Amino acid sequence: MSMENVTTVLSGDEAGGLAEAEASGGWLWLRSFADNRLALAGLVVVVVLTLFSFLGPLFYHTDQIHTRIGMETLPPGTGRPLGTDDVGYDQLGRLMVGGQTTLEVAFGAAAVAVLVGVAWGAVAGYLGGFVDALMMRIVDALLAIPALLLLLYLSAVFQPNVLLLIVVVGLTAWLVPARLVRAEALTLRSREYVLAAKTMGVRTPTLIGRHIVTNSIGTILVNATFQVADAILVVAALSFLGLGISPPATNWGAMLSNGLNFTYSGYWWLTYPPGIAIVLTVVAFNLIGDGLRDAFGLDTRRR
């Protein structure tokens, strides 16, 4: 095992001058990100799948509301690139519709998680002291309960629809961004420009919004992408457990679990298309998140 290859390349200091980075400040991360081929690939995959799901149906019309008896589980053939599922829906069309829901819920839940988490964490970190301690203990307590278990309970109590699903999934996911932003806030609040703004009389909410949050934007963005990835997997797990949305609405996770009932019948087009779609999308978002993290130069241990 040779280790010379891991001893760090000499830092930019010794490389002299500004050889690699001409732009300075603000948009440097974009350039770093663009250099990362894997991250770009992830971005492309996400864009393609989003277009597929939302624009696809405009070109490929199928009926996703009425089931068709006598047309069940037909293998791929002319007129049906991916065959039909167990109640007669066209599978390719279903993949598009399922994609819409999957992506909507994932983005929505991530948005909820980030909004709530950032607000909570920024306030806690900035105020510090007892308020911070209490707010973070609440986070700890919520973190102690596995999200799936909590979701199990909430889904049993409330009949889920898309909006409710977004809210519920988001509300179990805001804890991590809260912790991350709180850590940033703790560091940032003693920076001179924050203290200066404070002495000039800038009010606290503005301080938090303008200084703390904007300077944590890197961490927030990185975490947001991972939130989307996680949300897709959580919704898939929920659908598998039967607690997702009811038909005719569907999502990739539900399609996959449904298809898995037929594994031994050999209907591969019921499982692999949605399954691969899920894995591709989650991998893509993780790659984007990693790429963003590298581009912002953040600590690799924080998600």
| Contacting residue, 115, 116, 138, 186, with other proteins by CB under 8 A | 138
Q: What residues between 17 and 56 interact with other proteins by CB under 8 A?
A: 17-20
Chosen residue from 58, 69, 144, 200 binding other proteins by CB under 8 A: 144
Distances (CA, A) of 248 to 99, 145, 149: 14, 32, 26
Closer residue to other proteins, CB minimum distance, 4 or 192: 4
Burial (CB count <10 Å: 0-12, 13-18, 19+), residue 198: middle
Q: 74 to 113, contacts with other proteins by CB under 8 A?
A: none
Contact range with other proteins by CB under 8 A, out of 23-31, 67-75, 193-201, 229-237: 229-237
298: left (phi over 0), alpha (psi -120 to 50) or beta: beta
* Long-range CB contact pairs, 72-77, < 8 A, 24+: 73/262, 73/265, 73/267, 73/270, 75/267, 75/269, 76/269
Residue ranges of alpha helices (H) inside 88-161 are: 91-127, 129-144, 147-157
Stretch that binds other proteins, among 102-110, 203-211, 212-220, 271-279 (CB under 8 A): 271-279
CB proximity list for 131: less than 8 A, separation 6 or greater: 123, 124
Task: Give me the least distance between CB of 201 and other proteins, in Å please.
Answer: 35
Q: Choose the binding region for other proteins from 2-10, 81-89, 180-188, 193-201 (rule: CB under 8 A).
A: 2-10
* Interacting residues toward other proteins by CB under 8 A: 1-10, 13-20, 137-138, 140-150, 152-157, 229, 233, 236-237, 240-243, 253, 256-257, 260, 263-264, 275, 278-279, 282-283, 286, 300-301
